[in-house]
Structure 1
Amino acid sequence: MTKNNFQKLTGDERRELASQVKALRQRTGLTKKETAHQARITRQTLDNIENGVTVPQAEILERIYDTLGVETSDVIFESGTQKWLVMAGTLIEQIPPQHRQQATESALDVLYRAVRDTPKHTATVTPLSPRTASPQEPAAEAALRVENFEAQQEFMQEDP
C-alpha cells in the first residue's frame, strides 16, 4: 500500500488494519514500548489501537506498519479477506520450515476446489500443485496447472 493509499483508507478499513496490529507486533517480537517508540507514538496510543479503543489516523497506522516491517503494496484486499490472510500467515509461520510448502499447497488446493466448485465463479483458477488429468478434466488444463506449478517453484527457489 503506497502512502497515498493509506490516506485513502476509510475509517472502517483503518479499523480493520488496526485490529491486526497486536498480532503483527507479537509476531515480530517487539514490545509495546519498542513499537511505540519506533512508530513515534505513545505506548498508551498503541494500547488504545491494539484494544480497539481508537482508530488511528492514516499516517500513524502507516508508521506502525512500517515499524513492524509489514510490506505494504498496492494490493488491497477486502477487510474480511485481509483478516484471513493475517491468520493464515500466522499459522503458516508456526509450521516447521521443512513442512511449510507441503502444508500451504494442501491448503491452497482446498481453496482452489472451493472456488472451482462455487456455481457463481466464472474466472479461471489454477491450483499450485500439479495433478494428472482426471476423466472430467482435459489434459490441456492439467498441463497448464503443471506449468504454473513449475514456474511458481522456480520463483520460490530464486535468491531474493
Structure 2
Amino acid sequence: MSTKDFNNLTSQQRADLAAQVKEVRLRAGLTQQQLADEAGVTRQSIGNIEGGDTTPQAKTLLPVLKALGIAPSPAEFTPETSRWLAIVGGIMDSLPIERRAHAGQAAVTAVTNELVTASSNVIVGGFGQTAHISDEVAIPENVEEVWGIAGDIKGDDPIDHSQN
C-alpha cells in the first residue's frame, strides 16, 4: 500500500491497525521508548496509540506499523476465506491471550499441511524431490511478507500425478 493510499484509510481502519500495536510491541520485547525511537515518533505518541483514546493520524501511525512489521493494509480474500478467517478469529479471541500464539501456529500448520496435500507437484530442493510434512511446519517470522509475495505468483493449477 502506498503512503497516499494509507492516508486515505478511514478513521476506523486506522483505529483497527492501531489496536495491534501494544500486543506486537510487547511480543517483540520493546519498550514504548524503543519503539518510538525506531519509528521516529515520540514516546507519548506510542502511549496515545496504545491507549486507544484517539485515532492516530496516518503520518504518525505508518512509521510505527512499519517499525513493528505490521502490514498497513488488510489483505483481500475470497468471501469463503473471509468467512473462515472470521470464524477462526472469533475462536482465537475467546482463548486466553497466552494460548493464542500456540493456537495460531497450530492453525497455520493445519492449513499448510492441506496446501501441501492438495499440491502433489510441490518441489523442494531440486527436480523430482517432493515435500514431506512433519507434524509441525516451521513458519518464518516474516510470514506475512512471505505469503504476500507468494500470493502474487501466478501459475498453472497443480497437476494430479496420482493417476500415473
TM-score after normalising by structure 2: 0.52
Equivalences for 1:92-131 in 2 at 5 Å?
A: 94-95=101-102, 104-106=108-110, 108=111, 127-130=114-117
Q: Deviations over 1:53-95 (max 9, x none)?
A: 12111121111011113355683578x96xx4xx79x989945
Which shows bigger deviation, 67-76 or 31-40? 67-76
Name the structure with the higher helix share. 1
SS at match of 1:17: helix
2:17/2:72 contact within 8 Å kept: no
- Residue 23 of structure 1 is matched in structure 2 by 23
**CA apart distance, 1:5:** 2.4
TM-score after normalising by structure 1: 0.53
**CA apart distance, 1:13:** 0.1
SS at match of 2:59: helix
- Residue 119 of structure 2 is matched in structure 1 by 146
Change in 2 beyond 3 A, CA 1:8/1:76: farther
Task: Give 5+ residue unaligned stretches, structure 1.
Answer: 110-126, 131-144
Q: Deviations over 1:15-48 (max 9, x none)?
A: 0000000011112221101111222222122111
Could you tell me which amino acid in structure 1 is paired with residue 15 of structure 2? R
Number of paired residues? 115
**RMSD of aligned Cα (Å):** 4.1
**Using CA pairs below 8 Å that are at least 6 residues apart, which structure has the higher relative contact order?**
1
Q: Deviations over 1:108-160 (max 9, x none)?
A: 38xxxxxxxxxxxxxxxxx4252xxxxxxxxxxxxxx2337x36986x99xx9
Change in 2 beyond 3 A, CA 1:51/1:7: same
Equivalences for 1:1-160 in 2 at 5 Å?
A: 1-72=1-72, 75=75, 84=89, 94-95=101-102, 104-106=108-110, 108=111, 127-130=114-117, 145-147=118-120, 150=122
